[in-house]
Amino acid sequence: MKKASAVVAVSVVFGSLALGCGSSPSSQGPPTVVADAGGGFYTLSGRAARGMDISPVPLAIDGLPPDRLEVIGAGSYLVNAVGSCGHCHDQETPTGPVFLAGGNQFGTVSARNLTPDPTTGMKLTEAEFIEVLQTGKDFRNSTDANPASLVVMPWAGFRWLSVTDMKAIYAYLRAIPAVTHLIPSDTKPITPPVAAPTAYDDGDVARPLPADPGQDPDHTARGLAISPLANPLTADTVYGRGSYLVNALAGCNDCHTNPNRTGPPGSGKINTAAFLTGGAVFNPPPPVQAATGYNRTMSENLIGAANGFFAHAHFDTFLSLIVEGTHVDDPKPMPLGWPMPWQYFRTMTVEDLEAVFVYLNGLPRPTGVNDKTPQVPTMYCTGAPGCTAIGGTCDLAAQECVGMTCATSADCGACQTCTAGACAEPVAGGGGLNDCTTNGI
C-alpha cells in the first residue's frame, strides 16, 4: 500500500476494533484499514489502529511506510491505554494537562519530560531507553562511575515487557510533539541498577523468558512466564495475554498488593502472599478530593475467595466498571477510587480487557488473613451538608465525614475505626507499621 501522506489524524473505515466477550485475540488484533489525511489507505492491526485513534496529540508520521506506522500505533496503544503513562507524566497546568511534558512532584522526585524536545525532553537513544526499562538505570542522575536507579517509576514491572513493545513505545515517544519544559534534578538515594533480565525471577518460581519476538506475537507465552504465583498455569492464550498486560505494563501489583514487594525494586520480589488482595491507602490531592468526593482511598481486593472483586464479578460488570469509572455493582454506584487509571484502561480493546478478566478470574483465591477486607473511601467534606446523606458529620479539620453508624471498622471509610458504634477519624500515627494512613492494611 502507499505511504501515509501528511497524517495528522487517522480514521478507521473498516474492521473490528472490539470483539465481543468470548472471542479470542488474534495476533495484534484484527487487521483494520485506515484512511490518512491525503486520501490514501493502509492496513494496521486492531491495537495499532486503536493506538492511532486514542493518541491525544498529532503525530510526526508524514511519509512513513505502513510497517513503521504499525510500530508507532502499537506504541501509542501501550502508552495511552495499557500503560497510562500520562497519569504521572502529563504536565499539570491551570489550562489543562500538557501531554507527557513531566514535572509532577513525587516527594523529591519529578516525572520526566518524555517529549522529544532536544533541550528539556527525553534524550535517550533507543538502546538507552531499553536499558532504562530493563535495569532501572537513571541516565540523567548517573555517571558511569556512580550509576543510579530510578525511584517511583515502576520500571521493576516494565522490565518484563518484550523488547518489541519497548521499541514501539520509544517510536511513539519520538513521534509526539516536543514540549519545552525543564524538569528539576531529583534528590534521592543512590541505588545501583540491576542486570537486564534473562529469566523471570520476580515471583514464586523462576521461569525462562520466551524468545523475543519469536513465535509469540501476542506475548501470551511471555505472559505465562511472568505470572508471579506458582499455581499451575494454563496454556490458554487469552490467560497468557491477560497476564502479560497485568504484570508487565498495567502495574496492577503496584497498587493492589500491599505491601507490593518484599524489598526495594531489584532486590525484593513481588509479595505473592498478598498478591492483588488490596489494602494500599492513597491520599488524593485537593483537586481530586473535590472532584471525586473522596478524602482517602484504599485499593480493592481483586482475587480473594470471599472479599475479592473477581470472585463474584461477571465480565459485563467488569467491562462496565472500567468503561464508566463507577462501581456499577453497588446499589448506589460511586466513582472508582483515585488513583485507579480507568480513563486510560477504558480505551483498551475489548479482547484485551477480556484477557485481563480471564487472567484475574483464573488466579487462585486467597483465604483467611490473606483475603483482605479493604475499606471504602472516606468521604471528603467542607461542611455538614456533605455528610448528612450518609448519616455523619463533617470533621472540618480533617475534611472527612465521621460519625456514621457502624458495627465494625469494615463499615467505615479507609483507615477509620468503629468506636462505640460510630465511625471515627483515624488516630494520628507516627508512620509506624500499624499506621493505616501511611501503610494501609
315 and 358 co-located in one domain = yes
> Which of 82, 103, 137 corresponds to the end of one domain?
82
Query: Which contiguous run of DSSP H or E holds residue 76?
Result: helix 66-77
Q: Which of 339, 377, 315, 325 is nearest to 106 (CA)?
A: 339
The answer to whether residue 280 sits within a structural domain is yes
Give residue 11's pLDDT.
Answer: 41
Parent domain of 404: 378-439
Q: Which residues contact 434 (CB under 8 A, 6 or more apart)?
A: none
141 and 97 co-located in one domain = yes
Asked if 75 contacts 35 with a C-beta cutoff of 8 angstroms, the reply is no
Give residue 268's pLDDT.
Answer: 85
The answer to whether residue 373 sits within a structural domain is no
Distance CA 150, CA 137 (A): 6
Distance CA 49, CA 142 (A): 37
264 and 168 co-located in one domain = no
The answer to whether residue 206 sits within a structural domain is yes
- Determine the angle formed by the axes of helices 350-362 and 237-244, rounding to 10 degrees: 100
- Determine the angle formed by the axes of helices 163-175 and 126-135, rounding to 10 degrees: 130
206 and 306 co-located in one domain = yes
Q: Which residues contact 386 (CB under 8 A, 6 or more apart)?
A: 293, 379, 380, 394, 401
The answer to whether residue 384 sits within a structural domain is yes
275 and 215 co-located in one domain = yes
> Which of 159, 175, 191 corresponds to the end of one domain?
175
Helical spans, DSSP H, in 245-299: 252-256, 286-292
N residues, the chain = 441
The answer to whether residue 4 sits within a structural domain is no
C-alpha dihedral (356, 362, 249, 111), degrees to nearest 10: 100
Distance CA 436, CA 414 (A): 8
Which residue ranges of the chain lie beneath pLDDT 70? Answer: 1-31, 34-39, 144-145, 232, 264-267, 428-434
111 and 40 co-located in one domain = no
The helices-and-strands tally (H runs, E runs) of the chain is 15, 14
Counted domains in the chain: 4
The answer to whether residue 402 sits within a structural domain is yes
Q: Which of 125, 248, 235, 246 is nearest to 197 (CA)?
A: 248
Give residue 26's pLDDT.
Answer: 36
The answer to whether residue 297 sits within a structural domain is no
208 and 228 co-located in one domain = yes
279 and 235 co-located in one domain = yes
Asked if 69 contacts 8 with a C-beta cutoff of 8 angstroms, the reply is no
Give residue 190's pLDDT.
Answer: 74
209 and 354 co-located in one domain = yes
**Residue type at 341 in one-letter notation:** P
Neighbours of 239 (CB within 10 A): 22
pLDDT digits (tens, 9 = 90+) for 50-92: 999 999 999 999 989 999 999 999 999 999 999 999 999 999 9
CA distances from 304 to 71, 311, 315 (A): 38, 7, 17
Distance CA 395, CA 373 (A): 25
The answer to whether residue 17 sits within a structural domain is yes
100 and 76 co-located in one domain = no
Distance CA 180, CA 200 (A): 38
**Long-range contacts made by residues 330-337, C-beta under 8 angstroms, separation at least 24?**
334/293, 334/376, 334/377, 335/292, 335/293, 335/294, 337/282, 337/292, 337/294, 337/297, 337/298, 337/299, 337/300, 337/377
Give residue 162's pLDDT.
Answer: 96
104 and 171 co-located in one domain = yes
Sign for the CA dihedral angle at 406, 407, 409, 411 comes to: negative
**Residue type at 357 in one-letter notation:** F
118 and 251 co-located in one domain = no
Asked if 391 contacts 412 with a C-beta cutoff of 8 angstroms, the reply is no
Distance CA 198, CA 206 (A): 11
pLDDT digits (tens, 9 = 90+) for 135-168: 999 988 777 667 778 888 999 999 999 999 999 9
> Which of 82, 106, 134 corresponds to the end of one domain?
82
**Burial degree of 20 (CB within 10 A; 0-12, 13-18, 19+):** exposed
Helical spans, DSSP H, in 104-247: 126-135, 155-158, 163-175, 220-225, 237-244
